[in-house]
Structure 1
Amino acid sequence: MNLSIVIPLLNEQESLQELYDWIAGVMQSNSFSYEIIFIDDGSTDQSWNTITHISSKDPNVKGIRFLKNFGKSQALHAGFEAAQGDVVITMDADLQDSPEEIPELYQLITKEGYDLVSGWKKKRYDAVLTKNLPSKLFNAAARQTSGVKLHDFNCGLKAYRKEVIKHIDVHGEMHRYIPVLAKNAGYGNIGEKVVKHQKRKYGHTKFGMSRFINGFLDLVTIWFMSRFGKRPMHFFGLLGTLLFFVGFAFSLYLGIDKLIIETKGRLIAQRTEFYIALTCMILGTQFFVAGFIGEIMLTSTRKDSERYQISEKLHL
Structure 2
Amino acid sequence: MKPIQLSIVIPLLNEAESIQELHEWISSVLIESNFSYEIIFIDDGSTDNSWTIISDLCKKNEFVKGIRFLKNYGKSQALHAGFEAVQGEVVITMDADLQDNPEEIPELYNLIKNEGYHLISGWKKVRYDSFFAKNLPSKLFNAVARKTSGLQLHDFNCGLKAYQKEVVKHIKVTGEMHRYIPVLAKNEGFTKISEKIVQHQARKYGDTKFGSERFINGFLDLINIWFLSKFGKRPMHFFGAWGVVMFSIGFLSAAWIGGSKLYKLYHQEPAILVTNNPWFYIALSAMLMGLLLFIAGFLGELILLNTNTGKNYKIKSTNNIKSHL
Question: Fold match, TM over 0.5?
Answer: yes
* 1:240 pairs with 2:246: no
Q: How does 1:178-257 map to 2 (within 5 A)?
A: 178-257=181-260
Which of 133-142 and 189-198 deviates more? 133-142
Separation of aligned partners in 2, 1:78 and 1:297:
25
Aligned residue in 2 for 1:297: 303
Per-residue CA deviations over 1:29-56 (Å, capped at 9, x if unaligned) read 1011101000000000011111111221
Determine the structure 2 residue equivalent to 1:112.
115
- Kindly provide the CA deviation profile for residues 229-276 of structure 1, in whole angstroms up to 9, marking residues without a partner as x: 111111000000000101111111111111113573521111211111
Give 1:34-53 correspondences, 5 Å limit.
34-53=37-56
Residue 11 of structure 1 corresponds to 14
Q: Bigger CA drift: 34-43 or 261-270? A: 261-270
The answer to whether the aligner puts 1:99 opposite 2:73 as a matched pair is no
Q: Is the contact made by 1:23 and 1:99 (CA closer than 8 Å) also made in structure 2?
A: yes
Letter in 2 for 1:309: K
Q: Which runs of 4+ in 1 moved over 4 A?
A: none
Paired residues for 1:18-29 under 5 Å:
18-29=21-32
What is the CA deviation profile of residues 62-87 of structure 1, one whole-angstrom value per residue up to 9, with x for unaligned ones?
A: 10000100000000000001111000
Matches for 1:113-152 after TM superposition, within 5 Å? 113-152=116-155
| SS of residue matched to 1:4 | strand
1:149 CA drift (Å):
1.1
Q: Is 2:281 the partner of 1:278?
A: no
Give the letter for the 1:221 counterpart. N
Distance in 2 between residues matched to 1:260 and 1:303, nearest whole Å: 56
1:314 is the counterpart of 2:319: yes
The alpha-carbon deviation at position 288 of structure 1 amounts to 1.1
Distance 2:26 2:146 in 1: 32
Q: Please give the residue correspondences for 1:163-182 in structure 2 after superposition, counting only pairs within 5 Å.
A: 163-182=166-185
Can you give the 5+ residue segments of structure 2 that lack an aligned partner in the other structure? none
Provide the TM-score with structure 2 as the length reference.
0.94
Q: Secondary structure at the match of 1:200?
A: coil
Report the secondary structure of 1:247's partner residue. helix
1: CA distance between counterparts of 2:119 and 2:149? 16
CA distance in 2, matches of 1:7, 1:238: 43
Between the aligned partners of 2:190 and 2:46, the Cα distance in structure 1 is: 33
Mean CA deviation greater in 221-230 or 66-75: 221-230
- C-alpha displacement at 1:277, in angstroms? 0.7
Q: Where does residue 268 of structure 1 map in the other structure?
A: 274
Given that 2:67 and 2:317 are in contact with CA atoms closer than 8 Å, whether structure 1 keeps it comes out as: yes
Instruction: Give the aligned CA root-mean-square deviation in angstroms.
Output: 1.1
Deviation sequence 1:185-241 (CA, Å, 0-9, x none): 111000100000000011111121221111111111111111011111110000000
TM-score, with length taken from structure 1: 0.97
Asked if residue 68 in structure 1 is aligned to residue 74 in structure 2, the reply is: no
**Partners in 2 of 1:13 and 1:296 — Cα distance?**
46
How far, CA to CA, are the matches of 2:181 and 2:172 in structure 1?
9
CA contact (8 A) 2:264 2:271 kept: no
> Structure 1: how far apart are the matches of 2:226 and 2:7?
30
Q: Which amino acid aligns with 2:287?
A: M
Using the alignment, how far apart are the partners of 1:34 and 1:297 within structure 2? 40
Aligned to 2:7, the other structure's residue is in SS state strand
Matched residue type, 1:91: M
Cα distance in 2, alignment partners of residues 103 and 239 from structure 1: 50
How far apart are the structure 1 equivalents of 2:168 and 2:9? 11
> Following TM superposition, by how much is the alpha carbon of 1:141 offset from its aligned partner in structure 2, in angstroms?
1.1
2: CA distance, partners of 1:301 / 1:251: 38
- Structure 2 CA distance for aligned equivalents of residues 310 and 226 of structure 1: 29
| Aligned residues between the structures | 315
Q: Deviations over 1:87-106 (max 9, x none)?
A: 00000000000000000000
CA contact 1:11–1:45 (8 Å) conserved in 2: yes
Give identity over the alignment, percent.
63
